[in-house]
Copies of this chain bind each other. A is one copy, B any other.
Amino acid sequence: MSAIRLPYLLFVGDERNDSNAKTAFGVRQWRPEACVAQWNLPGGTVDIGLPRMTPAEAVAQGARSLLIGIAPVGGGIAPHWVAPICEAIEAGLDVVSGMHMRLGSVEAIRDTAARCGRTLHDVRHSEVRFPVGTGVRRSGKRLLTVGTDCALGKKYTALALTRAFQAAGHAATFRATGQTGILISGAGVAIDAVVADFIAGAAEWLSPANAPDHWDIIEGQGSLLHPSYAGVSLGLLHGSQPDAMVLCHDPSRLHIEDHPGFPIPPLEEVMDLHLRHARRVNPASRFVGIALNTSRLSPDAAAALLEDTGRRHGLPAIDPLRSDLAPVVRLATA
């Protein structure tokens, strides 16, 4: 990641759905000093909360790289993004992408970058040859955020918990497992881009043996309940051997997003399913908190829901962006 030139112009294209722009929102939230401006194409309505600039304007303000801030399902580069990406390269920007499809696989992008002497970064693709997972226990402590669905707070919870562990005096490292987490933290593995046979092995590689009291706070991916991505989630769970898990949930979501036939079961069932798998690799694995995304609720309603959820499940219930996370840290390290 050291080769990426900062700061970024965040490309959000003609996207109208905030949840497809989670890369842009995440980098803006957790690495604001690395973000100069956002670039919307005509028709695009996503608002990251940054000034809107063209590539030429952003370069004049110091931007050095165009970050592809949108992540459509399937991870492809839309044909109508090619000309704008080339325009950014011509203006002097490198390009950074977390998509499955490599930037250099598009001839116009590859040729423009070569002609202008600019660099293309595909952070979703690792050059590491991951081993097959072993299941062998390793030293150090690990916390994994897991979820009832995609895109509801697993990364934010892990980032916020990493700060809370550190604030409480514990050695803790955020371990990114997705492109946005990698762009925020500067390291990690896009676990969903690994060849299927090596998911658990890549997860073991990502959080190697460490000091006995060091905590890796590992960003979860997907959901065991998700009909598209559960395999990724289970491999990551096995390879992470979590001592502690935090269940992330959006109380407004009654079924898997875009999959109305897949209801979210009661949280106790979801936790039980995770524990059955986690205890294969770590018999002491347990839940230490429930993280609710309460962004759609008033402060009072959020507080009431968190208190009720915590009491019902006998666990600290928190919103990573609103709550004091110390109770989770205390329970994990007790």
A137 vs B273: C-alpha distance in the bound complex, in angstroms? 23
> Knowing A132-B74, A194-B195, A280-B225 touch, does A200 contact B100 (C-beta < 8 A)?
no
Give the size range of A's interface with the partner: 35 or more
Q: Does A196 contact B (CB under 8 A)?
A: yes
A235 vs B199: C-alpha distance in the bound complex, in angstroms? 12
> Knowing A192-B196, A195-B194 touch, does A238 contact B232 (C-beta < 8 A)?
no
The reply to whether A197 and B132 form a contact with Cβ atoms under 8 Å apart is: no
The reply to whether B229 and A200 form a contact with Cβ atoms under 8 Å apart is: yes
The reply to whether B74 and A277 form a contact with Cβ atoms under 8 Å apart is: no
Of B137, B195, B230, the residue contacting A234 (CB under 8 A) is B230
Interface residues of A in 106-141 (CB under 8 A from B): 131-137
> Knowing A201-B228, A262-B280, A277-B230 touch, does A235 contact B196 (C-beta < 8 A)?
yes
Q: Does A281 contact B (CB under 8 A)?
A: yes
How many copies of this chain does the complex contain? 2
Give the top 8 A-B pairs by smallest Cβ distance, nearest first.
Answer: A231-B235, A135-B227, A192-B197, A133-B228, A231-B231, A199-B231, A234-B234, A231-B234
Q: Taking A73-B132, A231-B232, A262-B280 as given, write out 17 further A-B residue pairs in contact, using a Cβ cutoff of 8 Å, ordered by the A residue number.
A: A100-B197, A133-B228, A135-B228, A191-B196, A193-B196, A195-B195, A195-B196, A196-B232, A197-B229, A200-B229, A201-B228, A227-B238, A227-B280, A230-B277, A231-B233, A231-B238, A273-B276
